[in-house]
Amino acid sequence: MACPHTPLAARLAPPKLSQAVHREECTQCFDNQDMAQGIDVCLHCFNGGCVDEQDGQGAEGGRHHARIHFEKTGHQLALNIRRVRKPRSPTEDSEPPLKRLAISEEREEDQYDFVRVVRCWGCGGKLLPDAMKDPYVSAIVNGIAGSMSSARQSEVKAWEEEITACEHTLTLQQNPPSAIEASGLAHCGKCELTENLWLCLTCGSLGCGRQQFGGVGGHGHGMDHYSETKHPVSVKLGTITPEGNADIFCYECGDSRLDPDLALHLANFGINVATQTKTQKTLTELQIEQNLHFDFSLTDENGRALQPLFGKGLTGLANLGNSCYLASTVQALFALEPFQNRYLPTAELHSMLCPVKDPAQCLDCQLHKLADGLLSGRYSKPASHPTPLPPSSELNTGPDDSMPTPTFQAGLKPTMFKALVGASHPEFSTMRQQDASEFLTYLLQLMRRDAQRKSLNPSMEPPHIFEFSTEQRLQCTNCGGVRYRLDENELISVNVPVRETGEKTEEGKIIYEPVTLEECLDTLTGEEEVDYRCPRCKTNVKAVTKTTFASFPDVLVINPKKFQLVNWVPQKLEVPLVVPIDNTLVMDKYLGKGQQDGEDILPEDEAEGGSSLPEFNAAAMIQLEGMGFPTVRCQKALLATGNSDADAAMQWLFEHMEDPDIDDPIDVASGVPSDGAEASPEQIEMLSDMGFTAPQARKALRETAGDMERAVEWLFSHPDDDGEEAPADSGAASTGKKLPGSDSLPAKYILKAFISHKGPSVHSGHYVAHIKEPEAGWVLFNDEKVVKADKESVENLGKLAYLYVFEKAL
């Protein structure tokens, strides 16, 4: 009997180029088209769903998201797609174009066979082998088969990085013509290096670049030349092609650029581009290769391969190119019990009840999907087609050549999650390497915003486990008056003192003295003398500030800052930080006391101009000044970024280094928002129309210097703040508002995880996570490779970690 629903195809249309076609993977779990049951692609909306055993295809674990999709939407027709790998033949990758970094679409048909058959859910999931004879059905099926999958669309869009010209390449002024030696015999003008050479397009000076991944040496003499001469544009020898492409870097912009007149500029130095051959990799190619092949040690102290692990909570995440910052952060989050309890038990129930039509666009759906993928153990198994290790991997150079190379997992691809989370962020939407701490903060902000939109209780959602408050106390040394301020936080950044030992490694790296975490916390909570205009004394005086904890979180995240500025570029330093790996971190002595009896509270700030500078975030000021920024620049950066976050202020500083008035005194009378400044009625009305109260709107605008866009961001990231201000003399304990976290003692913490980083900057290199699992002990999550970590690597990498995650001991 013919299916009565097949004629529905006449009212349907093939997918448009802009439409997402989820034909590779289920949108609500990680079952994919390579599994025996394949994936059902809805012919109505192109959602991808897995099928269960009752439907005759057998998804592992009884998943049935394709049937759930039908029950929720009424979409009857679907195309089941199953992909089978063909025997592989070796091929050589062609060189990517240098003007644009892009992934060219590979022909899947050359690598796989596809089995496609139409299914009708209106007929109970019945397969319809003859349905594709219908011309309307056939047109849709062909459209799905020929479309770029949603995963591929996200991948190509994120990798595609247009390199453009800048004012410095377009207006380049060159010195009189001169011939240089552009062959492999040329060397740096300040050392003997003959590779990684950069030619100054202004004067023809040859300088070596900075050291790069893959053994590419460099001493940074090209940058030194720029610092001395301010000649902005250089080209890397060995990357010049006859087409006029090359790796061009503008030191003034701090980024790769395009020179439309490169051939003409090179001719000034006797270089004919038509005769050039590309012999070296570009910066972007090196960065991609570095991240895909960057291996933390996968052997123990005796050279033996570390044991691959499989099972529940031991599932790896495949590297999408530069996504290790995301993978490490997500692994650390889902190792925490509140995240596991929130998302794993309800994964199937959520797929049935979620009102969002497109699961790929629902953050809750994608978090449930991640929990199921990472924690269920369903995907934690040796890869059928393991990715070979790079030739430089320690596992390929062990002392025993007969030792079998371990087989790792294929790893789950978090493509859908990354595309959703990064959609509204200019950096996280790209394939460039990112800062793991910034991503953690951003993800928690998205989760809070999502919870608020759904009217969920914020105290019941996972982000609340990170929340706590710091107490900032300021005392005038002239009149003795004091002032208190409470700031809500979700991680704490500590400056790490830098003390050189006077020794260097065999590779020439400086060796630094170890520093204890306790010393860093003591410095953070210690007293500091600052310049201050006292509202009572009516004059500039010295004040003593002190930052302590007003409450402690359930999960304490510590971000040690180990940077120094080199030409205003932060360079990471390998300062060993001694942390209690398997011992207890006691925080009791860092708890603030609040206002004490007999303390004289300072009045509100008053100035002749009717306004004054706000009280700057003391912890942020300490961090910024500790990096070498002048006080006035730190204050301006905090004013411009909401006076709450040192990282945001530092980013602002880097973007405004060349402002002509960057070092001018702050003009108090110019309208800088203060505690007494009023937002305009129009701004308050606009925020009120979005559902916020007037007190919330006023506080958000005050905290963000009147910037509407940042005020909205502030409101979403502070859902518990009702905007009501406590009296100036209230102290920490009597604000009338419950502080996030707890002030109960003892406050003891156990290290649960740490995220480590290799590379000169947090925006390059590679991240991995070490997590202490209940049964397996310390486990190393290095993308898709999940192995049992040896004691030595835990201790060594633990000293150089970038983020520490401590759980409060019960």
- Structure confidence by residue, pLDDT tens digits, 449-460: 898 888 788 788
Residue 160 has pLDDT above 50, yes or no: no
Instruction: Say whether both 646 and 761 belong to one domain.
Output: no
The answer to whether residue 160 sits within a structural domain is: no
591: which DSSP letter? B
Task: Kindly report the CATH number assigned to the domain that includes residue 506.
Answer: 3.90.70.10
Task: Kindly report the CATH number assigned to the domain that includes residue 619.
Answer: 1.10.8.10
pLDDT for 54: 54
Which residue shows structure tokens 């866009």? Answer: 709
Distance of CA 489 to the CA centre of its chain: 18
pTM of the predicted model over 0.75: no
H helix runs in 75-162, sequence order: 135-146, 150-159
Least confident piece of the model among 18-22, 136-140, 705-709:
705-709
The answer to whether residue 305 sits within a structural domain is: yes
Instruction: Say whether both 342 and 450 belong to one domain.
Output: yes
The domain boundary, picked from 243, 260, 291, lies at 291
Average pLDDT, the chain: 81
The answer to whether residue 182 sits within a structural domain is: yes
Rounded (to 5) percent helix, strand, coil in the chain = 30, 20, 50
Strand partners, 585: 749
Query: How many CA atoms does the CB half-sphere of 286 hold within 13 Å?
Result: 20
pLDDT for 394: 43
Q: From 223, 178, 171, select the one nearest 196 (Cα to Cα).
A: 223
Residue 123: pLDDT band by 50, 70, 90 thresholds?
A: very high
Strand partners, 504: 510
Please report which helix (H) or strand (E) contains residue 128, including its range. Answer: strand 126-128
Residue 723: pLDDT band by 50, 70, 90 thresholds?
A: low
Instruction: Say whether both 415 and 511 belong to one domain.
Output: yes
Which one of 498-507, 663-672, 749-758 scores highest in mean pLDDT?
A: 749-758
Please report which helix (H) or strand (E) contains residue 351, including its range. Answer: helix 347-353
Residue type, 80: N
The pair of structure tokens assigned to 136 is 């309307």
Cα angle 294, 299, 304; round to 5: 150
The answer to whether residue 64 sits within a structural domain is: yes
Instruction: Give the end-to-end CA distance of the chain in Å, rounded to a whole number.
Output: 65
The answer to whether residue 357 sits within a structural domain is: yes
| Omega of the bond leading into 746 within 30 degrees of 0 (cis) | yes
> Domain residues for 53?
6-87+102-147
Dihedral pair phi/psi, residue 476, rounded to 5°: -70, 130
Say how many domains are in the chain: 5
- Residue 750 burial (10 A CB sphere; 0-12, 13-18, 19+): middle
Residue 761 has pLDDT above 70, yes or no: no
Distance CA 373, CA 314 (A): 10
Ramachandran bin of 455, using left for φ above 0, alpha for ψ from -120 to 50, beta for the remaining angles: left
Tens digit of pLDDT for each residue in 591-613? 999 999 999 999 876 443 334 55
Residue 781: pLDDT band by 50, 70, 90 thresholds?
A: very high
Pairs from 797-800 (Cβ < 8 Å, separation ≥ 24): 797/296, 797/754, 797/756, 797/768, 797/770, 798/579, 798/581, 798/751, 798/754, 798/756, 798/770, 799/514, 799/576, 799/577, 799/578, 799/579, 800/574, 800/576, 800/577, 800/756, 800/757
Tens digit of pLDDT for each residue in 364-373? 999 999 999 9
Q: From 363, 368, 374, select the one nearest 411 (Cα to Cα).
A: 374
Q: Strand 77-85 vs strand 39-42: parallel, antiparallel, or unpaired?
A: antiparallel
More confident residue, 648 or 573: 573
Instruction: Say whether both 334 and 272 belong to one domain.
Output: no
Residue type, 589: K
The pair of structure tokens assigned to 568 is 């205003």
The answer to whether residue 387 sits within a structural domain is: no
Ramachandran bin of 508, using left for φ above 0, alpha for ψ from -120 to 50, beta for the remaining angles: left
Least confident piece of the model among 96-100, 212-216, 406-410, 765-769:
96-100
Which one of 274-283, 289-298, 678-687, 746-755 scores highest in mean pLDDT?
A: 746-755
Q: Is 253 annotated as a binding residue?
A: no
Residue 281 has pLDDT above 60, yes or no: yes
Q: Please, what sign has the CA dihedral across residues 352, 357, 358, 364?
A: negative
Tens digit of pLDDT for each residue in 298-307? 555 555 667 8
Other beta carbons less than 10 A from residue 271's beta carbon: 21
Residue 347 has pLDDT above 50, yes or no: yes
Instruction: Say whether both 80 and 124 belong to one domain.
Output: yes
CA distances from 809 to 153, 566, 729 (A): 45, 40, 34
Instruction: Say whether both 302 and 287 belong to one domain.
Output: no
Q: From 411, 391, 410, 735, select the one nearest 551 (Cα to Cα).
A: 735
The answer to whether residue 737 sits within a structural domain is: no
Tell me which of 166, 200, 324, 520 is the catalytic residue.
324
- What average pLDDT does range 104-113 have in this prediction? 65
Distance CA 215, CA 795 (A): 26
pLDDT for 98: 39
The domain boundary, picked from 254, 272, 291, lies at 291
Instruction: Say whether both 663 and 698 belong to one domain.
Output: no
Residue 660 has pLDDT above 50, yes or no: yes
Distance of CA 644 to the CA centre of its chain: 20
Query: How many CA atoms does the CB half-sphere of 732 hold within 13 Å?
Result: 26
CA distances from 629 to 230, 389, 562, 565, 568 (A): 22, 43, 15, 9, 9
Residue 666: pLDDT band by 50, 70, 90 thresholds?
A: confident
Q: Please, what sign has the CA dihedral across residues 219, 273, 266, 259?
A: negative
CA distances from 283 to 168, 239, 288, 764 (A): 19, 10, 9, 11
Active site includes 324? Answer: yes
Instruction: Say whether both 347 and 495 belong to one domain.
Output: yes
Q: From 604, 633, 570, 586, select the one nearest 750 (Cα to Cα).
A: 586
Active site includes 350? Answer: no
pLDDT for 560: 94
pLDDT for 702: 73
Distance CA 107, CA 96 (A): 17
SS3 state of residue 356: coil
Residue 703 has pLDDT above 60, yes or no: yes
Distance CA 15, CA 141 (A): 9
Instruction: Say whether both 205 and 230 belong to one domain.
Output: yes
Instruction: Say whether both 220 and 274 belong to one domain.
Output: yes
Tell me which of 64, 65, 766, 770 is the catalytic residue.
766
Strand partners, 601: 482
More confident residue, 449 or 181: 449
Residue 273 has pLDDT above 90, yes or no: no
Distance CA 26, CA 351 (A): 12
Distance CA 410, CA 404 (A): 18
Q: Is 208 annotated as a binding residue?
A: yes
Which one of 43-52, 305-314, 377-386 scores highest in mean pLDDT?
A: 43-52
Task: Kindly report the CATH number assigned to the domain that includes residue 182.
Answer: 3.30.40.10
SS3 state of residue 715: helix
Instruction: Say whether both 344 and 442 belong to one domain.
Output: yes
Distance CA 650, CA 634 (A): 8
Instruction: Say whether both 661 and 631 belong to one domain.
Output: yes
Strand partners, 350: none
Q: Are 175 and 203 in contact (CB under 8 A)?
A: yes
- Residue 301 burial (10 A CB sphere; 0-12, 13-18, 19+): exposed
Distance CA 55, CA 139 (A): 25
Q: Please, what sign has the CA dihedral across residues 716, 720, 726, 728?
A: negative
The answer to whether residue 326 sits within a structural domain is: yes
DSSP string computed for 178-194: -----STT---SSS---
pLDDT for 173: 92
- What average pLDDT does range 254-269 have in this prediction? 89
H helix runs in 165-261, sequence order: 167-170, 221-229
Least confident piece of the model among 220-224, 433-437, 676-680:
676-680
Residue 95 has pLDDT above 90, yes or no: no
